[in-house]
Structures are given as C-alpha cells and as structure tokens.
Amino acid sequence: MVSGLLNTSVQVGGALFLAVVTAVVTAQAPEGADPQAVLDSYRPGLMVVTGIAAAGLLISLTGLRWRRGDRRSVVVARSTSREAETERAGAP
C-alpha cells in the first residue's frame, strides 16, 4: 500500500511540475511567433526548473532536521550473563 501511495505521489508531482513549466513557456511565446521567439520563451521555463531543483537540493541537504530535537532517546543497559551472576554473588 505504501508503494502505491509513493508511486502515485511521484506521478502527480511530476504532472504538476510539467504543467507549471509548460504554462510558463507558453505564456512567454506569442501566437504565431518566429522560431527565435519560441526558443527565447524556454529561458523562463528553464529558470523555473532550476529554481525548483535548487530548492529540492537545499531541502534534501538540510533534511528538515529542525524537528529531530523532539525525539526522546532510550538507553538500554547491556550486560552478559557472567556479569549478572557475579553481581548476584556479590563479587566485584
């Protein structure tokens, strides 16, 4: 079930990303423009892609660790059976 949710979120995220970039590119190119104007309209789209990639890189590098301080640590005592027997016998 988790795999299906992960795959679905990746697909939906990719579709939204593609829709945003396509909207930016098509908004910059006028109707019936020459080939140079169409190529120039890709620059803002590439800037959007670069900005989103940079934001993703920063998020992945920092790891959103600001919530990690709330965790409580658990200390587990470790002893062997020989140590337990010597403690019971009272020997140092």
In angstroms, the Cα distances linking 79 to 71, 76, 86, 87 are: 26, 10, 11, 11
Model-wide pTM > 0.75: no
Q: Measured between alpha carbons, how far is 14 from 20 in angstroms, rounded to an integer? A: 10
**Domain count across the chain:** 1
pLDDT in tens, 47-69: 999 999 999 899 888 876 665 55
45 close to 17: Cβ distance less than 8 angstroms: no
Q: Measured between alpha carbons, how far is 7 from 12 in angstroms, rounded to an integer? A: 9
State the 10-residue block means of pLDDT for the chain, 92 residues long: 90 93 87 86 91 91 66 64 67 54
The domain of 63 spans: 2-89
Average pLDDT, the chain: 81
Q: How much is the pLDDT for 17?
A: 92
**Which string of DSSP letters, residue by residue, matches 56-86?**
HHHHHHHTTGGGGGGPPP-------HHHHHH
